[in-house]
Amino acid sequence: MQIIDGKALGQKIEKNVASQTAELKTQTGRTPGLAVVLVGSDPASQAYVGMKKKACDRAGFYSITHEMPEDISQEAIENTITMMNDNPNIDGILIQLPLPKQIDTTKLLELVAPNKDVDGFHPFNVGRLATGLDGFVPCTPLGVMEMFKEYDIDVKGKNAVVVGASNIVGKPMAALLLNAEATVEVCHIYTDDLKKHTLNADILLVGVGVINLIKEDMVKEGAIVIDIGINRADSGKLVGDVDYDNVAPKTSYITPVPGGVGPMTIAMLLQNTLTAAQIHAKEA
Ligand code: GUN
């Protein structure tokens, strides 16, 4: 069993982004800029945005966070996004999800300029991913594919089972695996007999948000297990969706929580923002 070290790989990618950022600045005078929209005071969202901002600082990016109260109007957020779309110093726009109930999230995601959509949530980029074309790809599943690359894991022809069908994780994860020629199955809350499906997995990827959803008897011997869940246990500890201690000995590779997929999400956000800045520098 080998532990996939997302922290080390994330740091390696961040270093590479920082050096390419310095190069971009020298050659074009352009500094990558990321604008984050944070609505309300959900502690998890605040923590994620804080980590993203620190990562931008480490990479040498310009970043700005638009913090808005929980009861903000749809129109006020739309105005901010339009402003960021028009601001030449901004290369990437990230709307931290989830948003309060009164807000139409889809409408906001569709308002983000596709060439600043570093989260890859705009239907334009979703469609390009589904078709196997270049575009911005959601950071978390993109980070998982980077892990496979780093550890020489070839997904082609393997049975990949994705548990969770969210727009942020499960669906783009399935699209990336399919584009990489894996045989892909997607399970979700209405899936009957989850274990029957997970036992087929050469590669099992889980992003649901349920502590200990995946137990030892649900995993095939020698499987690769990617835990995309992040939950706060009663003890206060961060844990994933996989019963790690009991599942890990059965696997060939496994990602820990924390220190697995999480740091990769941030690294890929930096990578996507740098890519956006490089494209915008060429267009200028
Ligand atoms: N909320 C949970 N994960 C994400 C993410 O990757 N991007 C954004 N914008 N919001 C999130």
Helix, strand, or coil (residue 111): helix
Q: Which of 119, 261, 270 to mutate to test the pocket of ligand 1 (most atoms within 8 A of CB)?
A: 119
- The fold adopted by the segment(s) 139-262 is Rossmann fold (3.40.50)
**Do residues 198 and 186 lie in contact, with contact meaning Cβ atoms separated by under 8 Å?**
no
Q: How far apart are CA 21 and CA 23, in angstroms?
A: 5
96 in contact with ligand 1, CB cutoff 6 A? yes
Tokens representing 175?
């699209």
Atom number of ligand 1 nearest to Cα 140 = 6
Q: Which atom of ligand 1 is nearest to the CA of 139?
A: 6
Q: What is the dihedral of CA 69, 72, 74, 80, to 10 degrees?
A: -50
Q: Which pTM was predicted? A: 0.98
Q: Which of 96, 227, 241, 243 is catalytic?
A: 96
SS (H, E, C) 127-183: HHHHHCCCCCCCHHHHHHHHHHHHCCCCCCCCEEEEECCCCCCHHHHHHHHHHCCCE
| Annotation marks residue 119 as catalytic | yes
Other beta carbons within 10 angstroms of residue 150's beta carbon come to 16
Residue in 91, 119, 227, 243 annotated catalytic: 119
Q: What is the model's pLDDT at position 163?
A: 98
Starting at the edge strand found earlier in the chain, the sheet holding 159-163 runs 2-3, 253-254, 224-227, 203-206, 159-163, 183-187
With a 6 Å cutoff on the Cβ, whether 94 touches ligand 1 is yes
29-120 and 139-262, same CATH topology: yes
Ligand 1 atom closest to Cα of residue 95: 9
3-class DSSP state for residue 224?
A: strand
Class assignment of domain 29-120?
alpha beta
Told to judge if 245 belongs to the known catalytic residues of this protein, a careful annotator would answer no
- Amino acid identity of residue 99, one-letter, is L
| pLDDT (tens place) for every residue of the chain, 284 residues total | 999 999 999 999 999 999 999 999 999 999 999 999 999 999 999 999 999 999 999 999 999 999 999 999 999 999 999 999 999 999 999 999 999 999 999 999 999 999 999 999 999 999 999 999 999 999 999 999 999 999 999 999 999 999 999 999 999 999 999 999 999 999 999 999 999 999 999 999 999 999 999 999 999 999 999 999 999 999 999 999 999 999 999 999 999 999 999 999 999 999 999 999 999 999 98
Cβ atoms < 10 Å from Cβ of 228:
31
Q: Where are the domains of the chain?
A: 29-120, 139-262
Contact at 8 Å (CB) between 216 and 246? yes
Say how many Å lie between the CA of residue 28 and the centre of ligand 1: 30
DSSP state of 96: -
Do residues 218 and 210 make contact, with C-beta atoms less than 8 angstroms apart? Answer: no
Report DSSP letters for 41-87, one per residue: --HHHHHHHHHHHHHHHHHT-EEEEEEE-TT--HHHHHHHHHHHHH-
* C-beta of residue 257 within 8 angstroms of C-beta of residue 238: yes
The 8-class DSSP code of residue 108 comes to: H
Identify whether 52 is a catalytic site residue: yes
Chain mean position to CA 187: 19
Gap between the Cα atoms of 107 and 133, Å rounded: 24
d(CA 243, CA 212): 5
Rounded distance between C-alpha atoms, residue 169 and residue 217, angstroms = 24
pLDDT of residue 284: 83
Q: What does the block give as tokens for 215?
A: 């137990």
- Is the sign of the CA dihedral 211, 213, 216, 219 positive or negative? negative
Asked if 92 contacts 116 with a C-beta cutoff of 8 angstroms, the reply is yes
Q: Cβ distance 241 to 206 under 8 Å?
A: yes
